[in-house]
Structure 1
Amino acid sequence: MKPSLLLLSIASALLAGCSDSDSPLTPDTPQQPDFVSVEKAVSIDAGTTYQTMRGFGASDCWTADYVGQYWTRQRDAISELLFSTDIADGRAKGIGLSQWRVNLGGGTAAQGDASGIDEKTRRAASFLTGTGQYDWNNCRGQQYFMQRAKDMGCPSFVLFSNTPPVQFTRNGKGFSASGACSNLKEDAYDDFADYLATVAQHYLHAGYPVTHLSPVNEPQYNWDSGQEGSGWQNSEVARLIRELDRALTDKQADVTILPGEAGDWEYLYKTKGDATRSNVIADFFTPSSADYIGNLKHTANLLCGHSYWTDGTWNGMRKVRQQVAAAAQAKGIELWQSEWSMLGDGYSSEEFVGYDKATEMDIALYMSKVIHNDLTQAGVGSWSFWTSMDVPRWGHQNRFLLIALTPAGGENGDLAQEGSYRPTATLWVLGNYSRFIRPGYVRIRMDYNESRHFFASAWMSPDKKEVVAVYTNLTSDKGIRLSETHTGWQGKAASVRFYTTTARKQLAESSVSPDGPVVLEPMSVTTVVYQLN
């Protein structure tokens, strides 16, 4: 029988005896908390479906190249945290990323100090040498993580570029002096496209699942210092994408072009600042537009944006995401969220305590708020964090990273000197989504009394044998007790397991009988997995 409806009765409770323990309950031990209940109701309707998930990812920029090359004692364990889907002894070994974003650097690392990029770790290597030859031994650290991701079953690699190789830029640098226009030489569009397609073809032939290629990054910014980048006009991006489509076709590389990487969601659906670099959905996907790219072999009515700067409040982020979703739906466009970290400022003091007072878990929980609204309001089919690993300098805690690195010389030490690493709360909260909502899972309807303190989404596996629900409870004085009933299935769920992340738990596994309650702890993200008969 086709599953059609899951009804959950939720009791919101003051927990008298539910505390964060360093030791998770064993998988076969149900929780028996002492609580005072207040009834709420949630229903999950598997007959109403929304977007299909393509994957959750993170970027290897920039430090993965150092860790992959020089951190030889610990790099295996670091890669396991990112890509493993194994659960042993009641704990997840990793967060099972299903997309890996690989930076195709511009060659500033080979330029050294002459690159003009002061911070060494922000320079990136390239496979293209100064003589125009390809050296596939370059980017060895990045290639290590690519191999590990492949070995652990990551099904999708997204190659992305911040700048054309320095051989092709107007100023011979990886950053731009061209303002709002591209730093790519006028006669080098075909050269840059051929480079991107050649790298994609190389890895496809080597057996890597390269599915997408993103040729520009945040084209609304000028990128005139500090790191690799370039501004781009919409017309210039469209020209490059047409050249890239030709190059991929010539090389018979079955890769989809991923346009966009907009600096924030608003650039996609309205004129914001420079009109020639915004309103991207209409410009790229209106057939009468001079910049139309919707008819190319290697485009797929797909566009991505970044969740920066539109995440300051619950209501504000929902409004922006509803607007970009409406614009995309009007053109039949699938949206991906391809980069977020807690970069912004101006967060509401009612919703965030501020960076000076925030714990790592505060930031991780705020990320869950952004993920939830990107999934349910923007309807994105992919969600990626900015960078997988970095050094948490300047008191930034885990704002920009999943795995915190400390070189042997300390915070300001040389990353080529292996030191220590630490998984952060952000890693594990992302894992509440990435480890369990797998590619091909479909979001299904969920009705409940949603608020910025309590929110959730539900997903069904392609074979309709598993339902995954991810709950975030941001109340500090309440727990949520779920007692489950369901209709439309042949019998009840065969098993119920749940995975809790708090300030002291990292995807800690517990289980209850199909008739037993699941307790969502205060200030937690909990993933409930229902295995169906």
Structure 2
Amino acid sequence: MGTDPGASGVQVNAQPVTVTLTAGKQYQTISHFGGSDAWACQFVGTWPDAKRNALADLLFSRDTLAGGQPKGIGLSLWRFNIGAGTAEQGAASDIRDEWRRAESFLNADGTTYNWDKQAGQVWFLEAARKRGVPEFLVFPNSPPVQFTINKKGYAHAGKPNLTAENFGLYADFLASVIAGIQKKTGVTIQYISPVNEPQWDWSDAGQEGTPFYNNEIAGIVRALSASLVKAKLPAKINIAEAGQIDYLYSPFNKQGRGNQIHAFFDKTSPDYIGSLPNLAQAISGHSYFTTSPYNQASQKRRELAAAVAKVPGLQYWMSEYCILGDNDGEIQGNGKDLGIDAALYVAKVIHNDLVNANASAWHWWTSISAYNYKDGLVYIDKNKTDGNFEASKMLWTLGNYSRFVRPGATRIDVSDQPGLLISAYKNVNNQLVAVIVNEQKEKAAIDLKAQDFQFSNVKIFRTSAQEDLKPVAADNEENTIIAEGRSITTIVADIIH
């Protein structure tokens, strides 16, 4: 049976190839697919009702339009950015772009709170809850400016911007914010992530942020654990949002800030915090700067998975990604791309993180972007009170996973097929989901073979240059799926035992 070379020189079979699914061979359990409200939601959440609701539908809705078209991508976790107060400082914050400043619930006196702050973000939090998003995570990029060493939301000379004496104040603040949000909105916060990318210097005043060493993170988490217990809050602490996955399983290039799996979850480490009652048994990292070339990226993720597997019960969460940098010349972060090129790159990253790193969670960074950059699922005019918006193919590509692979799903085994990236999952409702990424120009015909189960009622959804998670008719030939060239195809079916 003749073959044709694909776009990247990989041979793709012109005739159907068999892909075998084995439900009895299982890997990680999926916790959630998420996105962050930083930074645009502080403004977009105050836009006219019709527009902000349309944006919330794109991100959160699991409803279906006439003809079977999904209304949105059904995120299963929403990340709420707890601001440090740089918005109140204005130009004195030194953060030049006001869209990257953030309000704080904490008043200037450092002791009282204003729960009417961050109103736009609170609106999106409630909109997510109303549309069925089951879990919520709150995260700061910096402690409140009232507590920092330089009274700014960014660090000086790459040094941590919080003294150990203020760890308790910071922890009490985070617990108070969780309690305040829950009281105001009725939304229960499941997770709190107290530090963000602690390996970076955060000294350029580009946004809120501060570095921390592992021993400082451990101190903050111990204090936060006590504050949550005291406040009788159910939120679990998620750590440590590593700026690059290398820091999770190796020393890499930052003394005292790498090897975080060992530091926090090995009982022989002085920074061990794994036994705290409210610490989530997961370690989080960001996929930035490690996604190209693909083979090298895969190897890094296998090394990460091996390190995580050494800690019984530990999960890995990929908790932040958008396209940054030049990615070994494959794709640039600069320049907005609403089309399929950026979407396919993102699909490959998602697949690599789920299949090779065994990620239990996958979260996007800026869900709504006002920038000329590949950082948004949805793009808006940089207008604080009103504007236009447009969805990207990256939104719908994430939807190929988030809409259908639901919390509690288990990834199952799939036989490899050169030229295609295929993963499969079994939802808790006995639903099969398989996602096929075909980066090649040529279409591929795939015969899905279930090794130890049967399935029926097949539905197919496709994202391509012409389609946005569009339902497409199944091939007449039973269990034969056509993965069009340069597309992401999701198959949903009922499992029959």
Shorter-normalised TM range: over 0.9
Give the match for residue 36 of structure 2.
59
Give the match for residue 321 of structure 2.
340
Residues 112 and 357 of structure 1, relative CA distance in 2, 3 Å threshold: closer
1:133 to 112, 134, 141: 112
Alpha-carbon shift at residue 483 of structure 1 (Å)? 3.3
2:407 matches 1:439: yes
- Give the Cα separation in 1 of the matches to 2:213 and 2:451: 53
Secondary structure of the corresponding residue to residue 445 of structure 1: strand
Secondary structure of the corresponding residue to residue 258 of structure 1: strand
2:456 matches 1:482: no
Give the match for residue 159 of structure 1.
138
Give the match for residue 85 of structure 2.
107
Alpha-carbon shift at residue 40 of structure 1 (Å)? 2.2
Give the match for residue 289 of structure 1.
269
- Give the Cα separation in 2 of the matches to 1:500 and 1:320: 29
Give the match for residue 400 of structure 1.
375
Q: Can you list the C-alpha shifts for 1:231-268, whole angstroms capped at 9, x where unaligned?
A: 10111110000000000011111111001100100011
Give the match for residue 207 of structure 1.
186
Q: 1:226-241 alignment to 2 at 5 Å?
A: 226-241=206-221
Aligned alpha-carbon RMSD (Å): 2.2
2:458 matches 1:496: yes
Residues 485 and 287 of structure 1, relative CA distance in 2, 3 Å threshold: closer
2:25 to 48, 52, 57: 48
Secondary structure of the corresponding residue to residue 69 of structure 1: coil
CA contact (8 A) 1:174 1:228 kept: yes
Alpha-carbon shift at residue 425 of structure 1 (Å)? 0.6
- Give the Cα separation in 2 of the matches to 1:382 and 1:449: 25
Aligned identity (percent) is: 36
Q: 1:343-354 alignment to 2 at 5 Å?
A: 343-349=324-330, 352=331
Q: Can you list the C-alpha shifts for 1:152-201, whole angstroms capped at 9, x where unaligned?
A: 11011010110000010001100111524x20133211111011111122
CA contact (8 A) 1:45 1:445 kept: yes
Give the match for residue 469 of structure 1.
434
Q: Can you list the C-alpha shifts for 1:459-508, whole angstroms capped at 9, x where unaligned?
A: 00123x210000001111x212233444544xx53300010000110010
- Give the Cα separation in 2 of the matches to 1:302 and 1:110: 34
Larger CA deviation: 357-366 vs 321-330:
357-366
| Amino acid aligned to 1:219 | P
Unaligned runs of 5+ in 2: 5-11
CA contact (8 A) 1:204 1:253 kept: no
Give the match for residue 23 of structure 1.
none
CA contact (8 A) 1:312 1:345 kept: no
Number of matched residues? Answer: 484
Alpha-carbon shift at residue 79 of structure 1 (Å)? 0.4
Q: 1:317-332 alignment to 2 at 5 Å?
A: 317-332=297-312
Q: 1:11-22 alignment to 2 at 5 Å?
A: none
- Give the Cα separation in 2 of the matches to 1:36 and 1:374: 26
Give the match for residue 8 of structure 2.
none
Alpha-carbon shift at residue 112 of structure 1 (Å)? 0.8
2:469 to 493, 499, 507: 507
CA contact (8 A) 2:242 2:285 kept: yes
Larger CA deviation: 282-291 vs 246-255:
282-291
Larger CA deviation: 63-72 vs 356-365:
356-365
CA contact (8 A) 2:155 2:202 kept: yes
2:97 matches 1:92: no
CA contact (8 A) 1:81 1:95 kept: yes
- Give the Cα separation in 1 of the matches to 2:263 and 2:449: 48
- Give the Cα separation in 1 of the matches to 2:237 and 2:422: 32
Residues 209 and 521 of structure 1, relative CA distance in 2, 3 Å threshold: farther
2:175 to 197, 202, 205: 197
Secondary structure of the corresponding residue to residue 166 of structure 1: coil
Larger CA deviation: 182-191 vs 264-273:
182-191
- Give the Cα separation in 2 of the matches to 1:390 and 1:327: 34
Secondary structure of the corresponding residue to residue 301 of structure 2: helix
Secondary structure of the corresponding residue to residue 112 of structure 2: coil
Residues 194 and 520 of structure 1, relative CA distance in 2, 3 Å threshold: same
CA contact (8 A) 1:12 1:479 kept: no
Residues 12 and 190 of structure 1, relative CA distance in 2, 3 Å threshold: farther
Unaligned runs of 5+ in 1: 1-10, 15-34, 408-414
1:456 to 422, 431, 437: 422
| Amino acid aligned to 1:520 | A
Provide TM-score, normalisation by structure 1.
Answer: 0.87
Residues 353 and 339 of structure 1, relative CA distance in 2, 3 Å threshold: closer
- Give the Cα separation in 2 of the matches to 1:486 and 1:232: 48
Give the match for residue 426 of structure 1.
394
| Amino acid aligned to 2:207 | Q
Residues 522 and 401 of structure 1, relative CA distance in 2, 3 Å threshold: same
